Amino acid sequence: MAEQDVTPPEAPDFAATLAELETVVTRLESGELSLEDSLTAFEQGVRLTRTARERLTTAELRVQALMEQGDGRVQETPLSRDASATTDDDRQGGR
C-alpha cells in the first residue's frame, strides 16, 4: 500500500491574514455596508483574528522550542523588538 501525504492544507501566512483583516476593518469603518454585510464582515474579521492569533502562538512555540537548552530547560528570551534590540550606543556605553 502506498503512503499517502496526510499533511493538512497550509493556512494562509500571517502577513496575508493580517492584510485581509485590515481590508475587512476598512470596509467596516467605511460605514457603507448594510447591517447584514457588516455582520458578515465582522464574523470574517473574528475568524481572521483567531487564525492570526493561532499563527502567532505557533510561532512562539517554535521559538521556545529552538531556545530550549540541552538539559531541557528553556532560556527565556524576549520576543519583543524593544526588549531585545540594542543600539550602537548601548554597546558602547551610551554616548
Q: Who wins on pLDDT, 90 or 41?
A: 41
The alpha helices in 2-87, defined as continuous H runs, are 14-30, 35-67, 81-84
> Could you tell me if 12 and 51 are in contact, meaning their C-beta atoms sit under 8 angstroms apart?
yes
* Residue 74: strand pairing partners: 68
Domain assignments of the chain as residue spans, ordered by start:
12-68
Q: Which residues of 62-80 are buried (b: 16+ CB within 10 A; e: fewer)?
A: eeeeeeeeeeeeeeeeeee
Confidence of residue 78 (pLDDT cuts 50, 70, 90): low
The CA dihedral of 10, 11, 13, 15, to the nearest 10 degrees, is: 160
Whole-number Cα distances in Å, 89 to 39, 77, 80, 84: 50, 21, 19, 14
Q: Report the top-level CATH class of 12-68.
A: mainly alpha
Per-residue pLDDT of 20-76, as tens digits, reads 999 999 999 999 999 999 999 999 999 999 999 999 999 888 888 777 766 767 666
> Could you tell me if 67 and 75 are in contact, meaning their C-beta atoms sit under 8 angstroms apart?
yes
